[in-house]
């Protein structure tokens, strides 16, 4: 049974279809391997016919061509990270390496583990996108800035709000539960900012309008940061159906309205009422305010339900179009994609359904591959404090998948940390200080998880720490992830 959306807070936090898709082809690892083989035919590098390879001793029931397909594709996962001037040179080097090794294999017998390692050594890795400079280690300073986080009573929204508080911002938090919002506001203040609870049901436009009027009165009509995060999670009965793999025609029609009303539509409505304040701040502060919308990999990969993917894709499109209209007025708009987020709901799975959690992580320790909600907040802090982080490589370049900031990757490249030091609010809520988890489209997640399960025993060493197929810097292109279900044959 595939993992259901309710286990990750507001659904925007599960692995991509290449990992969690309920593939008819079998396990998620098999889905990934078959998808890699299909994608090689369309690869810009044309690395050669991987199907011509046969690796006796590495089979163990799996095709050697699958192994080589995975290895070859792993060298091109960072294509989007390459500098344009190196494209042709790197393509030639990879082709020569592959064809050269293929020729020697035909003449000297089956390749061994050492020859496989030599092949990998001949394939140049993508250039690092991690920016250099001590300025990346400096804390973001948002003192004097005014922020709004919608849907901040728990989960990712609360983590974002507390992260903004760490940087000294005044944070107005919205949601239906006054008690929960006041708890979040108190945490923001304890973390170093100032939290203000603004109860509001984002289904009701009148309440949203009133909430932003209240905020405008308190801020002098200015706003520096808007985070659209409100989302309506499915009720338990519907969540169970989705976990069981229900198709769209087996679900109530109300799922469309429920998922988009508090989600896509509420993002539009909040942006509508916040726009005058953002514009005023841009005109008077000398800074470019930031509008963020939390989305997910579901914007490009099938996840859970048709209505969910449409909502996330539309949210990403909303951000790109808002940028067209608000950009010239001095405002930057971005989609934020969290990864596998350790929300309150995930914590329940440790006790109630560990098998479900194991399927989500590919058998990996959730504490290694999961990120806490505060990491999204710290990424937003850095984006808000320094405008240079609002462009590639921290944000995807303009295009059909443009203006997206993937939390795990941005945190990695910005040198941010997850969790908190002893005595901090972050430590109290989210545990000890640690490096951010790998991106769920990176080999750091896919290699030791679902891919390792699909590889033959003789190739599993490549997914061990330090191995090529465990490299966090190798990331699947978003185009690869949007190719749909695996081939049926």
Q: What are the catalytic residues?
A: 308
Q: What is the pairing mode between strands 290-294 and 332-337? A: parallel
Q: How far apart are CA 59 and CA 65, in angstroms?
A: 9
What gap in Å lies between CA 320 and CA 470, rounded to an integer? 33
The residues, ordered by sequence, that sit 6+ positions from 27 with a Cβ below 8 Å of its Cβ are 450, 453, 454
Q: How many residues does the chain have?
A: 489
For 103, half-sphere exposure in the C-beta direction (CA atoms, 13 angstrom radius) is 6
* CA nearest neighbour of 23 among 2, 37, 51, 54: 2
Pairing state between β 290-294 and 225-228: parallel
Question: Which residues are 476's β-sheet partners?
Answer: none
Q: How many helices (H) and strands (E) does the chain have?
A: 21, 7
Would you give the DSSP letter of residue 234? P
| Residues in contact with 317: Cβ distance below 8 Å, sequence separation at least 6, in sequence order | none
Name the nearest CA neighbour of 364 among 420, 306, 437. 437
Alpha-carbon distance 16 to 30, whole Å? 14
Nearest to 371 by CA among 407, 396, 328, 400: 407
Q: If you ran DSSP here, which 8-state letter would residue 111 be given?
A: -
Q: Are 399 and 478 in contact (CB under 8 A)?
A: no
Q: Are 4 and 348 in contact (CB under 8 A)?
A: no
The answer to whether 79 and 108 have CB atoms below 8 angstroms apart is no
| SS3 state of residue 418 | strand
Residues near 449 by beta carbon (within 8 Å), at least 6 away in sequence:
19, 361, 362, 363, 364, 369
Helix (H) or strand (E) run with residue 358 in it = helix 354-361
3-state helix, strand, coil in the chain (%, to 5): 55, 10, 35
Reference 269, options 310, 226, 222; nearest CA is 226
Give CA–CA dist 330/119, Å, rounded. 50
């Amino acid at each position: 049974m595939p993992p259901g959306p309710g286990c990750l807070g507001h659904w925007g936090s599960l692995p991509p279809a290449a990992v969690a898709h309920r593939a008819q082809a079998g396990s998620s690892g098999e889905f990934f391997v078959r998808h890699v083989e299909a994608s090689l035919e369309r690869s810009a590098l044309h690395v050669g016919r991987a199907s011509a390879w046969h690796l006796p001793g590495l089979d163990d029931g799996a095709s050697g061509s699958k192994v080589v397909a995975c290895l070859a594709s792993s060298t091109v996962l960072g294509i989007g990270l390459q500098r344009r001037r190196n494209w042709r040179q790197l393509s030639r080097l990879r082709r020569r390496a592959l064809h050269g090794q293929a020729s020697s294999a035909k003449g000297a017998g089956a390749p061994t583990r050492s020859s496989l390692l030599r092949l990998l050594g001949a394939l140049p890795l993508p250039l690092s996108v991690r920016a250099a400079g001590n300025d990346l280690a400096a804390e973001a300073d948002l003192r004097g800035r005014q922020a709004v986080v919608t849907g901040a009573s728990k989960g990712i929204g609360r983590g974002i709000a507390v992260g903004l508080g760490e940087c000294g911002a005044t944070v107005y938090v919205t949601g239906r539960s006054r008690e929960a919002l006041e708890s979040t506001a108190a945490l923001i203040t304890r973390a170093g900012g100032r939290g203000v609870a603004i109860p509001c049901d984002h289904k009701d436009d009148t309440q949203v309008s009133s909430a932003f009027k209240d905020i405008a009165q308190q801020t002098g009509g200015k706003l520096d940061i808007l985070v659209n995060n409100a989302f309506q999670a499915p009720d338990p009965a519907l969540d169970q159906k989705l976990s069981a793999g229900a198709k769209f025609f087996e679900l109530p029609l109300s799922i469309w309205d429920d998922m988009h009303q508090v989600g896509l539509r509420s993002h539009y409505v909040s942006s509508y009422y916040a726009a005058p304040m953002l514009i005023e701040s841009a005109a008077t502060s000398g800074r470019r305010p930031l509008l963020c919308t939390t989305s997910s990999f579901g914007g490009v990969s099938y996840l859970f339900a048709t209505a969910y993917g449409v909502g996330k894709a539309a949210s990403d499109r909303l951000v790109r179009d808002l940028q067209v209209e608000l950009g010239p007025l001095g405002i930057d708009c971005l989609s934020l994609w969290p990864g596998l987020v350790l929300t309150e709901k995930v914590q329940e799975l440790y006790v109630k359904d560990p098998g479900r959690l194991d399927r989500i992580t590919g058998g990996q320790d959730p504490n290694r591959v999961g990120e806490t909600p505060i990491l999204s907040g710290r990424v937003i802090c850095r984006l808000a404090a320094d405008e240079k982080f609002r462009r590639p490589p921290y944000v995807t370049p303009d295009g059909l998948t443009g203006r997206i900031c993937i939390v795990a990757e941005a945190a990695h490249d910005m040198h941010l940390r997850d969790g908190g030091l002893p005595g901090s609010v972050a430590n109290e809520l989210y545990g000890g200080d640690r490096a951010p988890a790998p991106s769920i489209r990176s080999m750091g997640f896919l290699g030791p998880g679902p891919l390792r399960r699909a590889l033959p025993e003789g190739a599993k060493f490549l997914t061990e720490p330090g191995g090529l197929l465990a490299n966090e810097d190798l990331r699947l292109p978003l185009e690869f992830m949007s190719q749909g279900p695996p081939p049926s044959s």
